[in-house]
Amino acid sequence: MNKKNYFITGLFSIIPLAITYYIIVSLISIFSKPGQNLIKYILPEVELPLIELFIGFTLTFLFIYFLGLIISNVLGKKLYNFFENILSKIPLVSYIYNTIKQITETLTISQKQAFKKVVYIEYPKENIWTIALVTGESRDKTGVDYYQIFVPTTPNPTSGFMLYIKKSDAKETNLSIDEGLKIVISGGMLAPKQNEI
């Protein structure tokens, strides 16, 4: 491995950590402000960074909890949908928001509810293998068993194609649903070095 490859490997290794750190620090910074202001109002002469941080964490937890509680109610859903409609009318913002939301919803759906297992199929033509997610099973009039499968697209796995395929034409894998989705979302970058095709 040459020096350029070392740099690329290091870069792709640190990007998820950097993004995670940035998001967490940003959330703590945003939600700890009310706690910091409250402490400074009550004790203006005293510096208590640890207490301010604790209050910030507490407020973050309570904010997320009550947000979920509000959105779960009928009035909260209507208000949430109202703001979503506003976002959908802003060109660039709507694209970013919808993409992130769809990916998040895909990753949070219960595996038992959404997909049964991961298989390989020859699609869109022979000798080209594609990852597919089995959503159900059926049988035709002659007794031939079929899979109902969803073929997700990269990098947004919420869009794709629904197909019926004979079980005998699908190749079973040992991949979990999470592993299959990670391969799709990453465009194959997180695929195992040795595949089962």
| 22-78 pLDDT per residue, tens | 888 887 777 777 767 777 777 776 666 777 677 767 777 787 788 788 877 877 778
pLDDT tens by residue, 123-168: 988 889 999 999 999 999 999 999 999 998 887 777 888 999 999 9
pLDDT recorded at residue 107: 60
Residue 136 contacts residue 148 (beta carbons within 8 Å): yes
User: Which residue in the block uniquely carries the two structure tokens 């973050």?
Assistant: 60
CB of 40 closer than 8 Å to CB of 55: no
3-state helix, strand, coil in the chain (%, to 5): 55, 15, 25
pLDDT per residue as tens digits for the range 171-197: 999 998 888 888 888 888 888 888 777
Q: In what order do the strands lie in the sheet with 145-152?
A: 160-166, 145-152, 129-139, 117-122, 171-172
Q: Model-level pTM?
A: 0.49
| pLDDT of the residue at 151 | 93
Q: How far apart are the first and last CA of the chain?
A: 27
Query: What pLDDT does residue 63 have?
Result: 77
| In the chain, ranges of CATH 2.30.30.140 domains | 111-185
What is the topology classification, in CATH, of domain 111-185?
A: SH3 type barrels. (2.30.30)
**Residue 183 to residue 118: CA distance in whole angstroms:** 11
